[in-house]
């Protein structure tokens, strides 16, 4: 039988968690967050990382991929940089329901077919507005998440941890749908403010057991190729973040825009329009601006 995505709202039967389960998952999240920070230290850390490859996008943005091995399985750590703020990334990823989680997933991780919020272990509060511990089915591994703002080497950071857990609400789908469950052993993302204002350092860690019968050298080769494809997509993170932010903007109707003929200079760079200069109008503020990139 083929499992069609997105799955229906009543596909997973989410019985209430016991207080002991909630406490266990919370503690598990804290420990996993600590592990993520330690595992992604490229020097003087718990893992001996070796540069595996470097991917460069047409925009010139590059992603460095490092490789190591633990428990007989390859582990990868990728690093890149995006022009965004922590508030941008938190607005994208800090979700408390399936609909918002799917929207963020589709924008940033289009290679993941579906995502479903099973439980919210810990919700944000006024005291900790950027802290959340969700339990989410991801096509359909079942990671327990941990999202927290912190300081890393004195810089503000926001981390998203993925760690596999077992819950009755997400049973095996192999018998009915031939979907073999994989396991996140150590995985997650770190967004760290860089020395360049307005830019973030993005770190992604992946250490997974695929499941199934594929193992040995062939299994490692396939895992490496799959992750290289995933990390190639990291070079598109800037475009994806910009597109997500644009979808959240409210644009002015055409009738509210300033007439082009009423302005003699660009509202941004203040450069005077010539007789043959092409003008445009900003759908956010309504003003008349240069059609091409402004001199400012």
CA distance 69 to 78: 15
Tell me the pairing of strands 279-281 and 50-56. unpaired
Average pLDDT over residues 12-27: 94
pLDDT tens, residue by residue, 110-154: 778 899 999 999 999 999 999 999 988 765 455 678 899 999 989
CA-wise closest residue to 95 among 142, 143, 136: 136
CA-to-CA separations, 232 to 51, 58, 109, 224, in angstroms, rounded: 15, 12, 12, 12
- Chain length of the chain: 296
Average pLDDT over residues 270-277: 88
Looking at 83-87, 102-106, 284-288, which range is the least confident one? Answer: 102-106
Average pLDDT over residues 275-281: 88
pLDDT reported for residue 291: 85
Q: What are phi and psi of 69, to 5 degrees?
A: -145, 135
Q: Tell me whether the omega of the peptide bond preceding residue 125 falls within 30 degrees of 0, making it cis.
A: no
CA distance 120 to 33: 17
Average pLDDT over residues 189-213: 90
Looking at 20-34, 39-53, 209-223, which range is the least confident one? Answer: 209-223
Q: Does an H or E element contain 194, and which?
A: none
Burial class (CB in 10 A: 0-12, 13-18, 19+), 229: exposed
CA distance 126 to 114: 30
pLDDT tens, residue by residue, 37-75: 999 999 988 999 999 888 887 667 788 999 999 988 889
Q: Which residue has the tokens 């799959």?
A: 226
Burial class (CB in 10 A: 0-12, 13-18, 19+), 116: buried
Average pLDDT over residues 251-275: 92
pLDDT reported for residue 142: 58
- What strands lie across the sheet with 73-83, from one edge to the other? 50-56, 62-70, 73-83, 199-209, 183-193, 155-164, 143-152, 133-138, 115-122
Q: Is the model more confident about 30 or about 171?
A: 30
132 - beta bridge partners? 147
pLDDT reported for residue 62: 84
**In the chain, what are the domains?**
19-248 (3.30.530.20), 250-295 (3.30.40.10)
CA distance 89 to 30: 20
Average pLDDT over residues 162-176: 88
């Amino acid at each position: 039988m083929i499992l069609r995505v997105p799955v229906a709202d009543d596909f997973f039967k989410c019985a209430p968690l016991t207080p002991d389960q909630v406490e266990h998952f919370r503690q598990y999240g804290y420990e996993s967050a600590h592990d993520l920070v330690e595992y992604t230290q490229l020097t003087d850390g718990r893992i001996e990382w070796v540069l595996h490859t470097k991917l460069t996008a047409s925009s010139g943005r590059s992603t460095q991929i490092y490789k190591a091995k633990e428990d007989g399985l390859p582990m990868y750590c990728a690093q890149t940089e995006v022009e965004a703020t922590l508030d941008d990334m938190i607005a994208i990823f800090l979700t408390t329901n399936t609909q918002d989680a799917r929207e963020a997933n589709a924008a940033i991780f289009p290679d993941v077919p579906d995502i479903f919020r099973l439980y919210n272990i810990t919700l944000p509060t006024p005291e900790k507005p950027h802290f959340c511990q969700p339990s989410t089915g991801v096509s359909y591994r079942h990671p327990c998440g941990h999202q927290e703002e912190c300081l890393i080497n004195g810089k503000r950071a926001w981390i998203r941890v993925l760690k596999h857990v077992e819950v009755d609400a997400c049973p095996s789908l192999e018998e009915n749908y031939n979907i073999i469950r994989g396991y996140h052993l150590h995985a997650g993302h770190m967004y760290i403010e860089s020395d360049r204002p307005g830019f973030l350092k993005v770190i992604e860690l992946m250490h997974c057991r695929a499941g199934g019968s594929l193992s040995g050298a062939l299994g490692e080769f396939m895992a490496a190729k799959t992750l290289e494809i995933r990390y190639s997509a990291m070079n598109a993170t800037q475009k994806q973040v910009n597109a997500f932010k644009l979808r959240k903007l409210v644009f002015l109707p055409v009738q509210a825009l300033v007439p082009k003929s009423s302005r003699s200079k660009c509202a941004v760079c203040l450069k005077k329009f010539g007789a043959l200069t092409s003008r445009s109008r900003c759908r956010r503020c309504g003003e008349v601006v240069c059609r091409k990139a402004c001199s400012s």
